[in-house]
């Protein structure tokens, strides 16, 4: 922290102290010892749990359900409550989920992963066999291609940050580099693509370029230390860092090496991006550079002028976040936020900036820039380029208005 920022923080803290949010004791005698002994100190507390859960006072911090499709179970999406979280790791219980025909019940003792097609040695792996391979651990975000799609709408959604942008989460993923298994199977010349298929009732199927499979793809077995959660692909999922979440096929049952993309239902009728001119983009893999302020955000009310901490998340499927700029005047001026170290490639990056609110109406925005030089666009520019036919890959800047009453709302500004 440099001297200037530190002095600013000192002044800002003094303002907070004067803001009335904290109660200052003026009677030193009364403050010499704590005056009250709470009930929690008068009798023993609760015993142990084999597997712990959040405090009952946090019971409203849950995933929130988006639209679901009638006639199927669990087709839809459930979102991470980004506005209630801090740091960069998403607790697995609050990790977003998108499934196309619910969460299959898969006994790991019976599950098999087949590698076949254009390989010299077709291989079938049990989960126990996969667990014997060399593993790596990496912190990565995963984002549904359809995240933030409500920003294509002509009017801003009146929803929380999580309800609007909560199809992104971040975990420490541990698994086997896919390259090792493909080298063992022996990919034949011309085998430049792979079909990846899930063992769910949607038979989720995507074509994966071999170059990505041989680069940083994982067969993920663990998430935040423990085995994958059912809704995140238990017992094994493909994991393609930075690419649209749908391609990280869950409940993975086979990889078929092929000479060209298969053109599955999931990459033709879905997960293509219809542009303003009526043409659709296909195979738009990396998720673009993006950020949003999670605190304060839509639905919150500031308790009067004074010091606040602006806190948010930034990420890029095309590399590492280089900087995040924050505007508290609707985009006229921008200040560099502090990024939480270590800043990791293709991982959620927490940014923070102290902000002294003067009590007047204003608009907050954040803008992320990655190390490939990509800059998150304003919504107006994004819509001008892409139109409003698509529902995927929206990385427009998110604006929150702050009213003089302290109310924070989603605005297009």
Helix (H, G, I), strand (E, B) or coil at 246: helix
* Contacts of a second copy in 295-354 (CB under 8 A): 307-309, 311, 340, 342, 344, 350, 352, 354
Residue 91 CB, nearest approach to a second copy (Å): 5
Stretch that binds a second copy, among 12-20, 144-152, 263-271, 360-368 (CB under 8 A): 12-20
Q: Does 214 bind a second copy (CB under 8 A)?
A: no
Q: Does 358 bind a second copy (CB under 8 A)?
A: no
Site membership for a second copy, residue 259 (CB under 8 A): no
Considering beta carbons, is residue 159 or 413 the nearer one to a second copy? 159
DSSP 108-129: TTT-EEEEEESBSS-EEEEHHH
Nearer to a second copy, 322 or 379 (CB): 322
Binding residue count for a second copy, defined by CB under 8 A: 125
8 Å CB contact between 367 and 349: no
CA pair distance 166, 176, nearest whole angstrom:
28
Closest C-alpha among 204, 201, 193 to residue 266: 204
Closest to a second copy by CB, 286 or 296: 296
Residues in CB range of 185: below 8 A, 6 or more apart: 115, 119, 120, 121, 122, 123, 257
Whole-number Cα distances in Å, 40 to 37, 43, 55, 295: 8, 6, 15, 31
**Should residue 260 be labelled a site residue for a second copy when binding is judged by CB under 8 A?**
no
Q: How far apart are CA 398 and CA 413, in angstroms?
A: 9
Q: Which of residues 75-134 bind a second copy (CB under 8 A)?
A: 75-76, 78, 84-95, 97, 99, 101-111, 114, 116-117, 121-126, 128-129, 132-134
Can residue 398 be called a binding residue for a second copy (CB under 8 A)? no
Residue of the chain from 2, 3, 4, 45 that contacts a second copy (CB under 8 A): 45
Question: Dihedrals φ, ψ of 54, to 5°?
Answer: -65, 165
Candidates 68, 60, 348, 113; CA nearest to 221 is 113
Beta bridge partners of 112: 126
Measured CA angle at 118 (ends 115, 122), to 5 deg: 35
Q: Which is nearer to a second copy, 25 or 279 (CB)?
A: 25
Contacts with a second copy in 156-175 (CB under 8 A)?
A: 171-174
Half-sphere exposure for 36 (CA within 13 Å, toward CB): 3
Contact 207, 224 (CB under 8 A): no
Considering only residues 42, 67, 189, 332, which one is a binding residue for a second copy as defined by CB under 8 A? 42
**Residue number, 146 or 354, with CB nearest to a second copy:** 354
Listed ranges 249-257, 265-273, 283-291, 393-401: which one lies at the site for a second copy (CB under 8 A): 249-257
Question: Is position 359 an interface residue for a second copy (rule: CB under 8 A)?
Answer: no
Residue 50 interacts with a second copy (CB under 8 A): yes or no: yes
To the nearest whole angstrom, how small is the minimum distance from the Cβ of residue 43 to a second copy? 6
| By the rule CB under 8 A, 268 interacts with a second copy | no
315 CB contacts (<8 Å, ≥6 apart)? 141, 143, 168, 170, 287, 289, 290, 291, 321, 346, 347, 348, 349, 368
| 399 binds a second copy per the rule CB under 8 A | no
**Judged by CB under 8 A, which stretch of 37-45, 210-218, 268-276, 320-328 contacts a second copy?**
37-45
Does residue 229 bind a second copy (CB under 8 A)? yes
């Amino acid at each position: 922290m440099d001297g200037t920022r530190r002095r600013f923080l000192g002044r800002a803290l003094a303002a907070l102290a004067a803001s009335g949010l904290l109660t200052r004791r003026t009677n030193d005698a009364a403050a010499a010892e704590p005056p009250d002994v709470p009930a929690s100190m008068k009798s023993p507390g609760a015993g142990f749990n084999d597997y712990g859960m959040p405090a009952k006072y946090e019971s409203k911090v849950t995933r929130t359900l988006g639209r679901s499709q009638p006639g199927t179970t669990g087709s839809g999406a459930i979102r991470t409550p980004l506005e209630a979280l801090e740091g960069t790791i998403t607790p697995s219980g609050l990790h977003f989920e998108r499934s196309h025909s619910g969460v299959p019940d898969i006994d790991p003792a019976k599950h098999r992963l087949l590698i076949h097609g254009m390989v010299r040695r077709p291989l079938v792996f049990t989960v126990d066999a996969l667990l014997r391979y060399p593993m790596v651990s990496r912190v990565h975000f995963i984002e549904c291609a359809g995240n933030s799609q409500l920003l294509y709408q002509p009017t801003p959604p009146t929803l929380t940050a999580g309800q609007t942008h909560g199809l992104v989460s971040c975990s420490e993923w541990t698994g086997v580099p896919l390259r090792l298994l493909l080298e063992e199977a022996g990919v034949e010349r011309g085998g430049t693509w792979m079909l990846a298929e899930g063992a769910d009732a949607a038979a989720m199927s995507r074509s994966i370029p071999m170059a990505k499979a041989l680069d940083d793809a994982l067969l993920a077995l663990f998430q935040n230390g423990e085995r994958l959660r059912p809704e995140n692909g238990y017992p094994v999922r493909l994991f393609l860092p930075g690419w649209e979440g749908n391609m990280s096929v869950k409940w993975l049952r086979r990889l078929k090496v092929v000479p060209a993309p298969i053109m599955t239902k999931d990459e033709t009728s879905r997960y293509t991006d219809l542009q303003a001119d009526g043409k659709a983009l296909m195979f738009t893999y990396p998720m673009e550079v993006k950020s949003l302020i999670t605190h304060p955000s839509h639905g919150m009310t500031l308790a009067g002028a004074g010091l606040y901490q602006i806190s948010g998340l930034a990420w890029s499927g095309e590399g590492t976040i280089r900087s995040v700029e924050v505007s508290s005047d609707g985009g006229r001026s921008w200040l560099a936020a502090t990024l939480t170290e270590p800043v990791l490639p293709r991982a959620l990056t927490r940014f923070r900036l102290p902000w002294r609110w003067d009590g007047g109406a204003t608009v907050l925005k954040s803008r992320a820039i990655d190390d490939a030089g990509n800059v998150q666009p304003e919504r107006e520019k994004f819509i001008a380029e892409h139109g409003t036919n698509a529902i995927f890959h929206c990385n427009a800047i998110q604006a929150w208005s702050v009213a003089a009453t302290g109310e924070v709302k989603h605005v297009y500004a």
